[in-house]
Amino acid sequence: MELTNIRELVEKYWSGETSLEEEAQLRDYLNQEEAPADLKKEATLFRYYQSNTRFRTLDEKFDEQLMQRIEQKPAKQVWLVYRPWLQGAAAAVFVLVTGLFLVTKWNTSVDNPTAETTAVIAEDTYEDPRLAYEQTKEALLLVSSLMNEGTQHIEKLETFSEAQETVKTQIP
């Protein structure tokens, strides 16, 4: 076969227009040891295809086995029939375990009060409501004064931010 015909077949192959016979001719020619330099890539490709064809072939029973698997009805799983009952049982177990946990936790916190639970159990620590009000007022004033100290530092940051913006506008 002439080299020009081979080059035309290669062009047809890359454009997807070759028939199976033409591809067979091309494969036979390119599997030879002496391929032209401009067709080395194609020769390498066809040799690769040739070496891997044994992995791509299917045995004669493949179609039969495939059709049998398609026509085969799936086995019905028995546990799916009981699925609603299993879901209900799981929900009941969850509620029971959660209830037992909460009751146990509540009983231990009432019997043995810790630092966390004492605040919840202690109802009134002051007998005089005015005294309780004054104590609360003092605590809130302390928190307020500490927060005001923090805002003074923020004012310094605002001054720095303004200076930074001025510098940014002056630099091109």
Q: Where are the domains of the chain?
A: 3-58, 92-123, 126-172
pLDDT of residue 117 exceeding 60, the answer is no
Cβ atoms of residues 31 and 47 within 8 Å: yes
**Is 82 a residue whose pLDDT tops 70?**
yes
pLDDT higher than threshold 70 for residue 57: no
What pTM, to 2 d.p., does this model score?
Answer: 0.32
125-169 per-position pLDDT tens digit: 778 888 888 989 999 988 888 877 777 777 777 787 888 888 888
Show the DSSP H helices in 72-128 as ranges: 83-111, 115-121
Residue 117 burial (C-beta neighbours within 10 Å; 0-12, 13-18, 19+): middle
Note the pLDDT of residue 18: 86
C-alpha 36/C-alpha 50 separation (Å) is: 19
- The per-residue pLDDT of the chain, averaged, comes to 79
- Lowest mean pLDDT, pick from 6-15, 114-123, 133-142, 149-158: 114-123
* Cα 23 to Cα 17, 52, 104, distances in angstroms: 10, 16, 80
Q: List the one residue out of 33, 52, 45, 42 whose CA is nearest residue 11.
A: 42
pLDDT in the model for residue 168: 82
Copy the structure tokens of residue 89.
Answer: 């049982």
Whether the Cβ atoms of residue 20 and residue 44 lie closer than 8 Å to each other: no
**Integer-rounded Cα radius of gyration of the chain:** 43
Residue type, 164: Q
Strands, E, within 30-88: which ranges? none
Tell me, what DSSP letter sits at residue 19? -
Alpha carbon 167 to chain centroid distance?
45
